[in-house]
Structures are given as structure tokens and as C-alpha cells.
């Protein structure tokens, strides 16, 4: 984590400066603590959208605002450590994403405003009291991820007609991932498809998990989580090697080689999060800012990956895609 330090006068000479000289020293900039659940590379497009919107609103890093970064690299235990550090250095607002990291930030402070750019179900996870009046020191944008499980299964069935066995790769340590896994299993059961639950807890579990699906699984559903997001390159490589078509929740996975994704536009969510931060830095209370939910969901398909997997995506599905990568 990088900490910006402002120049200060050292030694006894500082005591002899006249009061007017002291008054001319620069005022401390408002500080944003950015708690990244993954890595700078994995979150680059989302961070870029956040910073771009901040600049549009007049908040320029190093000039009108200071930004502290802490990257958890997909390791859940680091969320609390970074959050505590932000509290120690007294940032003015904490920005983060993912239910687990928001919970860690909430446990670290009940005073410093917290903005979540992405979270699953903030009411069920006790992050806010209501969407319209969050209360407390937290607000942000909710994806309600579990509601999308059935839709992703449906889209995967269109792309891979007739598949009978679905592997579900999810972080077994994440309550939200476990909940989404249950939603997936209920969705496939309705259409007569069997499922294989692949629970992982750390990056080292990913490769062994794929050994379980060579042969038994016809398709793969990757549940979004800091662990799977951080290690998406490895997951894409293993899925392609195993010739298993997979569906994800965000464009970044498809741009990196995944077959398809369906979910909200995460870059836009981060832009909206910057707007929340702007309001808070200008005096608004987070508990008075309603939690927002996305109204549009994007379908992204990678035809290069489809070709590598020997798949022909139906024209009807391509026609509905918001973006086709070739």
C-alpha cells in the first residue's frame, strides 16, 4: 500500500518560523482510501473509470485529493488489515467492492464514510438498513448477484446446446458465493441438468479443481469473487485447455479469453461510485444517499474463444449480444 507524504520541516528550525510562514503551508488534501479486492492489473478498467469520473468532478489525484491504495490480491484476510490501516491514517472516505471487503471496512469503522462500488445484497448482508435510506456510514451500488444465476445458466445453454453437466467454480469461504452456487444448482435442476460443485479457498486450489471436470463436465459457471477475479487468467487458460465453455459475470473475463459473460457494466458502477464520493467529500452523509442498482446488464461473447472450443454460437444469441469480441 502506498502512502502519500507531504513535505514537513524538520528539526528545531521549524520552531523559529514566524506564524505567517506556518499559515502558508499547504492544507492536507481530502483523502480517499481505495481498498482493491484484487490487484491493480485485474481492476485496471474499473479503477480507470473511477478516476476518470473523479477528474470530471474536479477531484485530481495529488492536486485536489489524495488517494491511498491497498490491494488485497484476492486474499480475504487482507481486507481487514487494509481497512484498519485506512482508519489509522484517517482517510476521509473508503471505497471498496465485494461484500467481504465491505464487511471488513464496516467492522473497522462506524465513522468514516464507506462507498461500495459493487456488493451483492447489502440488506441481507447487513451492510445497510434499507436501499432508500441506508443509515449509518455506508452506501453504494448493489448488483444482487444471486438474481442473475438463472439467466446465466439459460444463456450458457443457448451457447452450448444439449450440455448435461455443469461445473460450478466458487470460493467456498465466501457466504455470497455459496449462496449463488445454491441458486445455480436450483436453476439447473429445473431443466434437468446435473451440477458439480468445485469449492476453492485459495489460488493453489484452482488447478486441482479443474482436474475434477475433465470429462464429467460439459460447461463451467465461474462465480464472481475476489479469489476468482484475481486468478482469472489461470482459470481461462485451464478452461480452454480442458475444452470447457465457461460463463462469467463481467466483460474483463471475456476480454482476457473467457467465452461469455452476463452482468452489469462494472466500469459504469465505478463511475457512479465516484459520484457518491464527490457528494460525500462535499458534505453529504452516506446514510442519506440511496443505494443504487443497475438497470442494464450486458452480454459479451468472445468468438475467438468459441472457435478454439469448437463452438458455433447461434446467430440469435449473437444478435442479442451487447458486444462481440473477434
E-strand stretches of 19-137: 31-36, 66-71, 93-96, 114-119
The answer to whether residues 165 and 309 belong to one domain is yes
Helices (H) and strands (E) in the chain, counts: 13, 12
φ/ψ of 290, rounded to 5, equals -60, 145
Residue 10 pLDDT: 35
Q: Tell whether 50 is covered by a domain.
A: yes
Structural domain of 78:
12-143+266-288
The answer to whether residues 64 and 212 belong to one domain is no
- What letter would DSSP give residue 110? S
The answer to whether residues 96 and 208 belong to one domain is no
Q: Tell whether 6 is covered by a domain.
A: no
The answer to whether residues 175 and 304 belong to one domain is yes
- Dihedral over alpha carbons 103, 42, 309, 303 (to 10 degrees): 110
Q: Tell whether 7 is covered by a domain.
A: no
**Per the structure block, which three cell numbers stand in for 96?**
471498496
The answer to whether residues 103 and 238 belong to one domain is no
The answer to whether residues 311 and 182 belong to one domain is yes
The answer to whether residues 241 and 320 belong to one domain is yes
Q: Tell whether 3 is covered by a domain.
A: no
Give how far Cα 323 sits from Cα of 129, 154, 250, Å: 36, 18, 12
The answer to whether residues 133 and 200 belong to one domain is no
Q: Tell whether 40 is covered by a domain.
A: yes
The answer to whether residues 224 and 304 belong to one domain is yes
Residue 105: strand, helix, or coil: helix
Domains in the chain, number: 2
CA distance 50 to 272: 8
The answer to whether residues 303 and 277 belong to one domain is no
The answer to whether residues 219 and 89 belong to one domain is no
Domain harbouring 27, CATH code: 3.40.50.2300
Q: Tell whether 51 is covered by a domain.
A: yes
The answer to whether residues 175 and 218 belong to one domain is yes
Q: Tell whether 2 is covered by a domain.
A: no
E-strand stretches of the chain: 31-36, 66-71, 93-96, 114-119, 138-142, 165-171, 194-200, 219-222, 246-248, 260-264, 297-302, 323-325
Task: Note down pLDDT in tens along the chain; length 326 residues.
Answer: 444 433 333 343 333 333 333 344 456 899 999 999 999 998 999 999 999 999 999 999 999 999 999 999 988 889 999 999 999 999 999 999 988 899 999 999 999 999 999 887 788 778 898 889 998 999 999 876 556 889 999 999 999 988 899 999 999 988 888 888 999 999 999 999 999 999 999 999 999 999 888 777 889 999 988 899 899 999 999 998 889 999 999 998 999 899 999 999 999 999 999 999 999 999 999 999 999 988 789 999 999 999 999 999 999 999 999 999 98
Q: Tell whether 4 is covered by a domain.
A: no
Dihedral-angle region of residue 40 (phi above 0 means left; psi in -120 to 50 means alpha; beta otherwise): alpha
Q: Is 287 within 8 Å of 135 (Cβ atoms)?
A: yes
Give how far Cα 1 sits from Cα of 78, 117, 121, 225, Å: 11, 20, 28, 21
Q: Which of 318, 178, 301 is nearest to 245 (CA)?
A: 301
Residue 23 pLDDT: 41
Residue 33 forms beta bridges with which residues? 68, 94
Amino acid at each position: 500500500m502506498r502512502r502519500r507524504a507531504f513535505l514537513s520541516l524538520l528539526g528545531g528550525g521549524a520552531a523559529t518560523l514566524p506564524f505567517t510562514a506556518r499559515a502558508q503551508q499547504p492544507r492536507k488534501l481530502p483523502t480517499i482510501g481505495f481498498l482493491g479486492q484484487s490487484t491493480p492489473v485485474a481492476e485496471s478498467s474499473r479503477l480507470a473509470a473511477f478516476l476518470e469520473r473523479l477528474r470530471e468532478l474536479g477531484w485530481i489525484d495529488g492536486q485536489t485529493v489524495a488517494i491511498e491504495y491497498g490491494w488485497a490480491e484476492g486474499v480475504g484476510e487482507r481486507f481487514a488489515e487494509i481497512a484498519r490501516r485506512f482508519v489509522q491514517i484517517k482517510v476521509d472516505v473508503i471505497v471498496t467492492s465485494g461484500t467481504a471487503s465491505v464487511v471488513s471496512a464496516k467492522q473497522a469503522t462506524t465513522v468514516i464514510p464507506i462507498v461500495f462500488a459493487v456488493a451483492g445484497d447489502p440488506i441481507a448482508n447487513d451492510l445497510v438498513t434499507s436501499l432508500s435510506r441506508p443509515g449509518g456510514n455506508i452506501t453504494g451500488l448493489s448488483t444482487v448477484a444471486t438474481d442473475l444465476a438463472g439467466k446465466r445458466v439459460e444463456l450458457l445453454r443457448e451457447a452450448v446446446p444439449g450440455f448435461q453437466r455443469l461445473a460450478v467454480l466458487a470460493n467456498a469461504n465466501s457466504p455470497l458465493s455459496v449462496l449463488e452456487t445454491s441458486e445455480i444448482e436450483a436453476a439447473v435442476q429445473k431443466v434437468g441438468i446435473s451440477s458439480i460443485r468445485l469449492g476453492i479457498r485459495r489460488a493453489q486450489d484452482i488447478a486441482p479443481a479443474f482436474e475434477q471436470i475433465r470429462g464429467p463436465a460439459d460447461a463451467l459457471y465461474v462465480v464472481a469473487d475476489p479469489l476468482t477475479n484475481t486468478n482469472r487468467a489461470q482459470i481461462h487458460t485451464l478452461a480452454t485447455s480442458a475444452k470447457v465453455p465457461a460463463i462469467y459475470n463481467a466483460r474483463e473475463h471475456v476480454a482476457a479469453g473467457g467465452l461469455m459473460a452476463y452482468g452489469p457494466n462494472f466500469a459504469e458502477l465505478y463511475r457512479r461510485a465516484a459520484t457518491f464520493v464527490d457528494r460525500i467529500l462535499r458534505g453529504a452523509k452516506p446514510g442519506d444517499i440511496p443505494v443504487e442498482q443497475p438497470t442494464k446488464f450486458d452480454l459479451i461473447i468472445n468468438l475467438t474463444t468459441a472457435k478454439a472450443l469448437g463452438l458455433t454460437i447461434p446467430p440469435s444469441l449473437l444478435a442479442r449480444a451487447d458486444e462481440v469480441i473477434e
